[in-house]
Amino acid sequence: MSTNIVKVAGVEVSTDHWIGGKRVASKEKFANFSPIDGSHLADISAGGKSEADAAVAAARKAFPAWAALGPKGRLPYLKKFAEGIRARANELAAVETMDNGSLLMGNIHRVVPRAAQNIEFFADWALTLDGHVIDSPEVVNHVKYDPAGVAVLITPWNAPLMLTTWKVGPALAAGNTVVVKPPEWAPLTCSLMADIAHEAGIPAGVLNVVQGIGEVAGDALVNHPDIDRISFTGSTDTAKIIGRAAASSITPLSAELGGKSPFIVCADADLEAAAQTVAGQYMNAGQVCLAGTRIMVEKKIEEEFLEKVRTAASHMVLGDPRDKNTRVGPLIHKEHFARVVGFVERAKADGAVPLWGGSQANIGELYFEPTLFAQVSPGLEISQKEVFGPVLTWQSFTSDDEVVALANNTRYGLAGTLFSQNEKRAMDIASRVTAGTFWVNCFFIRDLAAPFGGAKDSGLGREGGNWSFDFYSDIKNIAVRKDSFAG
């Protein structure tokens, strides 16, 4: 086992890959820093083609035995895996907070429990897939969900543990083996996840973790000739590169990408609840692909609602994410901070006016003030492109047709949110906005049985419930002629 161990928030974390049930070091390293204070956390083994080849080979070797267990045979391993995540919730939360700057209390009470649920839920759901029969006049169709093989899972830095288990759970439950490529800006909880899987008895090679830079390690994995699935969460531009690699080998690809989601507030809404929810769009420093960053308010309540949002936003305390009173932490990395600042400065130059915020906070290098822009026309860059920071825009509308047109006026279609107490109106608007998920009088509620994904440039495919198994399985139909075995 590796001796390359660092302590992060008092927790021992390996800085090496996890391949074939062993820790594997690389000569090349990349530095990992905490966005909270810029402190150096670790030098991480940087994988490339050799590590990708070794991990895929290990996954391929482990695949037949893992697939042969069937859903019932895999269930005890995955249940123990989920239990291990729960048992180390405080450690995982503390490391993730140091690694990506997300709120400690949120990680303890929401993120890590959801990571465990991701594993457990899909292990249970896999049991429901056996015995699916379609009766036809001449034949009985027996639908089988066969494991696909080796899945490459590429995960983002804004919620690395939760979004990795969102992929690992159904992939393993379906009988596949996996190679995880964690985000280079926040790789540490994926390393801990590998330890927990090992402690749960997950066989060697079933779950592998290859760390590294996307253009090197990620590129080697998605272009590998012996993989069967690619699941990616990240930017649209990166997805296009991965898509070309997947197309060259006809490897099925699932991609959950960026968003520029509308947040629609009708005059008949519960304005207090809507205002609190708007303020909540600043969570995780706005580094949430699902966030409703384009606030669209019915003209007749615009002034009243703006004051309610101003009050709600004033309670979004910016500070150290380890402090229980903090509601908005730092941005992930100085490169990303510069990107967010660039969007804000160009918006100001384009004539958009910040109603509040719009500047770097004076509490640290990567902290940016929660910001709301007004005087924003639909064609401005700030209205069209994903900022992925604590930056919202404000627009008004006078009719449902107008707001639907505004909502659909981007290349994205990941999510949408609407507040109204008129059910018919709410459902009509929701049905006309292009989005994979649309919340009415709520936000950020994701049932694991429901479909999740994006339209247009926000993604390809759906996951959740049966949709996950449709992707992570080779679905086979065995059509048996009726009475062919009579006697």
pLDDT in tens, 354-371: 999 999 999 999 999 999
pLDDT in tens, 440-464: 999 999 999 999 999 999 999 999 9
Quick check: pTM over 0.95? yes
pLDDT in tens, 170-219: 999 999 999 999 999 999 999 999 999 999 999 999 999 999 999 999 99
pLDDT in tens, 141-163: 999 999 999 999 999 999 999 99
Note the pLDDT of residue 468.
Answer: 98
Whether the predicted pLDDT of 1 surpasses 90: no
Distance from C-alpha of 131 to C-alpha of 339, rounded to nearest angstrom: 51
> What pLDDT band is residue 131 in, cutting at 50, 70 and 90?
confident
Cα end-to-end span (Å), the chain: 59
Whether the predicted pLDDT of 344 surpasses 90: yes
pLDDT in tens, 356-412: 999 999 999 999 999 999 999 999 999 999 999 999 999 999 999 999 999 999 999
Domains with residue ranges and CATH for the chain: 5-257+458-477 (3.40.605.10), 262-440 (3.40.309.10)
Whether the predicted pLDDT of 3 surpasses 90: no
Average pLDDT over the chain, rounded to whole? Answer: 97
**In Å, how far are 56, 279, 414 from 276, measured between CA atoms?**
46, 5, 22
Percent of the chain predicted with pLDDT > 90: 98
Whether the predicted pLDDT of 2 surpasses 60: no
Note the pLDDT of residue 486.
Answer: 72
Percent of the chain predicted with pLDDT > 70: 99
Average pLDDT over residues 7-26: 98
Q: Is 258 within 8 Å of 458 (Cβ atoms)?
A: yes
Whether the predicted pLDDT of 17 surpasses 70: yes
Identify the CA nearest to 380 among candidates 345, 356, 413, 414: 345
Hey, what amino acid is at 62? Answer: A
**Catalytic residue selected from 256, 298, 369, 386:** 256
> What pLDDT band is residue 487 in, cutting at 50, 70 and 90?
low
pLDDT in tens, 299-340: 999 999 999 999 999 999 999 999 999 999 999 999 999 999
**256 labelled catalytic:** yes
Whether the predicted pLDDT of 485 surpasses 90: no
Average pLDDT over residues 423-444: 98
Distance from C-alpha of 406 to C-alpha of 429, rounded to nearest angstrom: 12
Note the pLDDT of residue 189.
Answer: 98
482's tokens: 């009726």
pLDDT in tens, 287-305: 999 999 999 999 999 999 9
Average pLDDT over residues 72-88: 98
Distance from C-alpha of 426 to C-alpha of 441, rounded to nearest angstrom: 9
Distance from C-alpha of 99 to C-alpha of 435, rounded to nearest angstrom: 31
Distance from C-alpha of 290 to C-alpha of 415, rounded to nearest angstrom: 6
Contacts of 90 (CB under 8 A, 6+ apart): 108
Average pLDDT over residues 253-269: 98
Cross-strand pairs, 296: 264, 395
Distance from C-alpha of 112 to C-alpha of 85, rounded to nearest angstrom: 7
419 CB-contact burial (10 Å; exposed 0-12 / middle 13-18 / buried 19+): buried
**In Å, how far are 22, 164, 248, 265 from 54, measured between CA atoms?**
11, 20, 22, 52
> What pLDDT band is residue 282 in, cutting at 50, 70 and 90?
very high
Average pLDDT over residues 9-33: 98
**Catalytic residue selected from 51, 96, 266, 289:** 289
Average pLDDT over residues 465-480: 97
Note the pLDDT of residue 297.
Answer: 98
**442 labelled catalytic:** no
